[in-house]
């Protein structure tokens, strides 16, 4: 409206007119133009008012229609969801993973409550449920981080802050990457030079036993490799469905993968009374029983053991290999804790080396996949998700199928591949970083050995708790006595007795551990898994709290 008024006034001004009564020159035509200009201004105002009123009415009508339409849309969207618990993949629904299960969800809720200022009998939640070394305060290995940093930001290669041996390795890795960038895809099997370094590492580790880079597959942690091999092994239906033999207690990755792939889980029990040893007679019992309902063709071994911490003897490994050869089983050797051996009476023996030394009848026939990772050992680099598997004696056509399957996921993280390279190609004597590297590595492993002994000793002083020697890995899996009244209370809460125990431990002390039922255990026995990774002083506090809680628990439910 302002625009129309201005135009009218401009017209009047151009005529020398200041209103109808101000035409001093008396000229009639000028007066008429002035009057016409003012009339036009009035007409414009009336038209603008009509348009505004019409617009408001239209907006009201539009809003009413929109609301009616929204109601109809709302009515339509109230239909049932396409994806429900009933319609989802039943194999996924069957998957359970105790390490990050209900006890960990509860720990997260308690942490939120503590942040809000809600009072608890403790000031922090200590997550002793998972082997996440750096989250527990372990410092990274300097050389590994230097090389990965240089690979990630090659401009640092000109920096005097980095030693030459780290730069040498970074250049070698980058040379194998597309356009010398860690951001490029690699070959599905992994960067070639890193696979060569893995093969060289295996040869050194195994005293000269040959390793072919073409049999090396870099993976997204060991878990990715294990799942991939299981996927290619599972077939058949009904009684011919693939059976996968796994140790009990086991790492829940195995039971979860078996459920997801709709394979058949075949349990064999480790001998708790004999420091969790593996008995071939138990393997035979398990296999023979399983033949009635599936086709057992895969045998999984975890050495050193998770959650049990045992290190299998060479004789035991020979017996297992002979059993696999005799029964035509595909062997999976999970060896991610191969650097974590603490008992002076124990030594790590790779399945690959023992298989080779048993002679060509075994070495040329037994199909074996073995796995390693950056996540454990002295490195603890869980977040990089680096790993590898060596697969030997595969049928040539199956090898092609495996590469095809791996190509679907393009490639493992190249930064993780770089981290894996440093694990298998560390500094050597005479190189600038060697002394610091050895000092850091030995410090981590010596510290873990100290904590393993501390944990075993303190648990065995508590009435109603028994802990086998922690020979390796990074966990304790103590057996706990749970009174019958507590078992009844657990039933009332619809919980397994050891889950009930662990939940009360969490709620009363803030310590998060995993119930043994999540790993499997013999009927009527109860355990929990706890990592030994916290710093020594904090670990002592944790162990004291567990001791006090357990004594109080026994008194409460006596």
Taking only the tens place, the pLDDT of each residue in 514-539 is 999 989 889 989 999 999 999 999 99
5 within domain boundaries: no
Q: Which of 300, 222, 224 is nearest to 263 (CA)?
A: 300
Number of neighbouring beta carbons within 10 Å of residue 534: 20
* Same domain as 389, residue 305: yes
* Domain-terminating residue out of 379, 400, 424: 424
Are 124 and 236 members of one domain?
no
Residue 545 is assigned to a structural domain of this protein = yes
**pLDDT at position 80:** 80
Residue 412 falls inside a structural domain = yes
H-type alpha helices, 78-161: 90-93, 102-115, 142-152
In the prediction, which pLDDT does 20 show?
A: 42
**HSE-up of residue 289 (Cα within 13 Å, Cβ side):** 12
Are 375 and 345 within one domain?
yes
Mean per-residue pLDDT for 192-203? 97
Q: Is residue 18 part of a domain?
A: no
SS3 content of the chain, % helix, strand, coil (to 5): 55, 10, 35
pLDDT digits (tens, 9 = 90+) for 377-433: 999 999 999 999 999 999 988 898 899 888 888 889 999 999 999 999 999 999 999
Q: How far apart are CA 90 and CA 112, in angstroms?
A: 32
Q: Which residues pair with 515 in a beta bridge?
A: 528
Answer whether residue 54 is part of any domain: no
What integer pLDDT is reported at residue 131 of this predicted model?
86
Q: Which residue has the higher pLDDT, 220 or 70?
A: 220
Query: Is there a single domain that holds both residue 129 and residue 166?
Result: no
- 69 falls within a domain: no
126 touches 538 (CB < 8 A): yes
Do 469 and 519 belong to one domain?
A: yes
Note the residue count of the chain: 558
17 pLDDT higher than 60: no
Whether 49 maps to a domain, the answer reads no
Regarding whether 473 and 324 lie in a shared domain, the answer is no
Backbone φ and ψ of 268, nearest 5°: -125, 140
Rounded to two decimals, the pTM is 0.82
Using a pLDDT cut of 70, give the percent of the chain over it. Answer: 84
**Last residue of some domain: 372, 403, 424?**
424
Q: Verify that 168 and 283 share a domain, yes or no.
A: yes
Q: Mean pLDDT of all residues in the chain? A: 87
- Report CA-CA distances (Å) from 215 to 172, 373, 422: 21, 16, 19
Residues 410 and 483 in one domain: no
Closest CA relative to residue 176, chosen from 426, 433, 427, 421: 421
**419 located within any domain:** yes
- The position carrying tokens 């809000």 is 116
Q: Per-residue pLDDT averaged across 58-87, rounded?
A: 62
255 and 353 belong to one structural domain: yes
Among 282, 294, 293, which residue's Cα sits nearest to residue 248? 282
Q: Hey, what are 386's tokens? A: 């680096």
Asked if 487 and 412 sit in the same domain, the reply is no
How many Cβ atoms from other residues are within 10 Å of residue 503's Cβ? 19
- Give residues with Cβ within 8 angstroms of 77, minimum separation 6: none
Residue that has been written with the tokens 């969790």 in this structure? 276
**Is residue 345 scored above 60 in pLDDT?**
yes
| CATH code, domain with 371 | 3.40.640.10
> What mean pLDDT do residues 167-171 have?
96
Domain with 406, as residue range(s), is 143-424
- Name the domain count of the chain: 2
**Beta strands 368-373 and 514-515, pairing class:** unpaired
Q: Which of 424, 448, 476 is the last residue of a domain?
A: 424
Biggest CA pair distance of the chain:
130
* Residues facing 150 on adjacent strands: none
Query: Do 351 and 409 belong to one domain?
Result: yes
Considering the domain architecture, whether residues 473 and 552 belong to the same structural domain is answered as yes
Domain CATH for 445: 3.90.1150.10
């Amino acid at each position: 409206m302002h625009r129309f008024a201005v135009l009218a006034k401009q017209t009047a001004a151009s005529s020398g007119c200041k209103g109808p009564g101000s035409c001093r020159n008396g000229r009639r035509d000028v007066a008429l133009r002035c009057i016409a200009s003012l009339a036009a201004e009035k007409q414009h105002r009336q038209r603008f008012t009509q348009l505004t009123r019409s617009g408001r009415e239209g907006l009201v009508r539009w809003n009413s229609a929109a609301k009616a339409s929204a109601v109809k849309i709302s009515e339509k969207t109230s239909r049932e969801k396409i994806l429900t618990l009933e319609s989802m993949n039943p194999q996924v629904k069957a998957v359970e993973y105790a390490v990050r299960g209900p006890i960990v969800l509860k720990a997260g809720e308690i942490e939120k409550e503590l942040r809000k200022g809600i009072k608890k009998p403790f000031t922090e939640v200590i997550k002793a449920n998972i082997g996440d070394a750096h989250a527990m305060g372990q410092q990274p290995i300097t050389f590994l981080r230097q090389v990965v940093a240089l690979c990630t930001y090659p401009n640092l290669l000109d920096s005097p802050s980095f030693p030459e041996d780290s730069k040498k390795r970074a250049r070698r890795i980058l040379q194998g990457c597309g356009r010398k960038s860690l951001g490029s895809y690699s070959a599905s099997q992994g960067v070639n030079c890193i696979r060569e370094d893995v093969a060289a590492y295996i040869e050194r580790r195994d005293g000269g036993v040959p390793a072919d880079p073409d049999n090396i597959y870099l993976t997204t942690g060991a878990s990715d490799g294990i799942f991939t091999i299981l996927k290619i092994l599972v077939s058949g239906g009904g009684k011919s469905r693939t059976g996968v033999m796994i140790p009990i207690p086991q790492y829940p990755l195995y039971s979860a993968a078996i459920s997801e792939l709709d394979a058949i889980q075949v349990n064999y029990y480790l001998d708790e009374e004999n420091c969790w040893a593996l008995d071939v007679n138990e393997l035979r019992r398990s296999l023979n029983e399983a033949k009635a309902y599936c086709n057992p063709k895969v045998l999984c071994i975890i050495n050193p053991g998770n959650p049990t911490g045992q290190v299998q003897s060479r004789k035991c490994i020979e017996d297992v290999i002979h059993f696999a050869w005799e029964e035509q089983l595909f062997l999976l050797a999970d060896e991610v804790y191969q650097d974590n051996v603490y008992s002076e009476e124990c030594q790590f023996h790779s399945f690959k080396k023992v298989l080779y030394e048993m002679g060509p009848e075994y070495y040329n026939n037994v199909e074996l996949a073995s796995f390693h990772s950056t996540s454990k050992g002295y490195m603890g680099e869980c977040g990089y998700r680096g790993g590898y598997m060596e697969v030997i004696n595969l049928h040539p056509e199956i090898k092609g199928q495996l590469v095809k399957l791996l190509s679907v996921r393009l490639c493992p993280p190249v930064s993780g591949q770089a981290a894996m390279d440093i694990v298998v190609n560390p500094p050597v004597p005479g190189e600038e970083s060697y002394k610091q590297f050895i000092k850091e590595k030995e410090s981590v492993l010596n510290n873990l050995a100290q904590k393993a002994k501390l944990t075993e000793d303190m648990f065995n002083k508590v009435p109603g708790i028994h802990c086998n020697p922690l020979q390796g890995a990074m966990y304790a899996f103590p057996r706990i006595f749970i009174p019958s009244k507590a078992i009844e209370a657990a039933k009332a809460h619809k919980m397994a007795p050891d889950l009930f125990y662990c939940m009360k431990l969490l709620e009363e002390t803030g310590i998060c551990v995993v119930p043994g039922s999540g790993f499997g255990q013999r009927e009527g026995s109860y355990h929990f898994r706890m990592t030994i990774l916290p710093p020594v002083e904090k670990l002592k506090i944790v162990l004291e709290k567990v001791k006090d809680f357990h004594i109080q628990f026994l008194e409460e439910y006596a």
